[in-house]
Amino acid sequence: MTEKKFYFFANWKMYLDFDESNILANGLAEELKNKSRSYEMTVFPSALALQTVTQVLRDLNIDTGIQNGYWVDKGGYTGEISFSMAQNIGCRFALIGHSERRHQFKESNHDVRMKMENVINNTKLVPVLCVGETQKERDDGKTEEIIEAQLRSAYDGVNWDEKREIIIAYEPVWAIGTGNACDAKEAQSQHERIKAIVKELLPGQSLSVLYGGSVSPENAENYLKEKDIDGVLVGGASAKMDSWLKILAIAEKISKKYV
């Protein structure tokens, strides 16, 4: 059987407050504590709950990540948190360039590059680069061009240490939080292209591409059957215990096929 490592990433966005985040983390810990797991699970809680959720999940070998960070480690930047601060409290991953950052908070490819460089040069975190096109870009036939520009501006010439994994989330903006999930075959062809571009930019590195955008217990398996889809980044359905546990049941089933 082929060996394939699957990633199941839960982006809790700003859906849960401090208490709700800790209740969900403790509930998951209780559900998963005596079960073996053959997939990677990572939770991205709000910054406020990052430390407590990290502590709760650490004993189960479930990782956490920061949803966003600033590209300077420390200083007079009111309201910001740095990636190195997230590392100091035990996080392993960092989302970079999530479409809600790019489109609602106007983060440019340049900003994303600054964040990527800070994570790569100043921390040991694994950056998870999010890329994807808007509905308009898709309608205008610009999907490939937009994704390629996002990939090149983030990775070209970056000083990548060979032990660090490359993880990318392909998240079409029109599919995020809309219920309008991307067809699995269409996602597969974008993943294949993304892998080809990144292999050219950073040859010889281990590379995984996750799909994100309205993933649910009903459709998750369709993505995981595709050759170049190495996991899912889930928003809404990951912030509720019942739907996330259903997705994890699929994770277990699919992962076992490959181990």
* 148 included as an active-site residue: no
Give the Cα separation of 25 and 239 in Å (integer): 10
Structure tokens at 198: 């990144």
Q: Which is nearer to ligand PEP, 44 or 155 (CB)?
A: 44
| Parallel/antiparallel/unpaired status of strands 166-170 and 7-11 | unpaired
Q: Report the residue closest to ligand PEP, judged by CB.
A: 235
Name the minimum Å distance from CB 67 to ligand PEP: 9
- List residues near ligand PEP by CB under 6 A: 11, 13, 171, 176-177, 212-215, 233-237
Name the minimum Å distance from CB 13 to ligand PEP: 6
Give the Cα separation of 130 and 97 in Å (integer): 5
Q: Which of 40, 98, 100, 133 is catalytic?
A: 98
* 103 included as an active-site residue: no
Contact 216, 235 (CB under 8 A): no
Q: Which is nearer to ligand PEP, 157 or 177 (CB)?
A: 177
Name the minimum Å distance from CB 40 to ligand PEP: 16
Give the Cα separation of 173 and 154 in Å (integer): 18
Q: Which is nearer to ligand PEP, 121 or 135 (CB)?
A: 135
In angstroms, the Cα distances linking 15 to 46, 55, 183, 195 are: 8, 20, 26, 31
Q: Would you name the residues annotated as active-site residues?
A: 98, 171
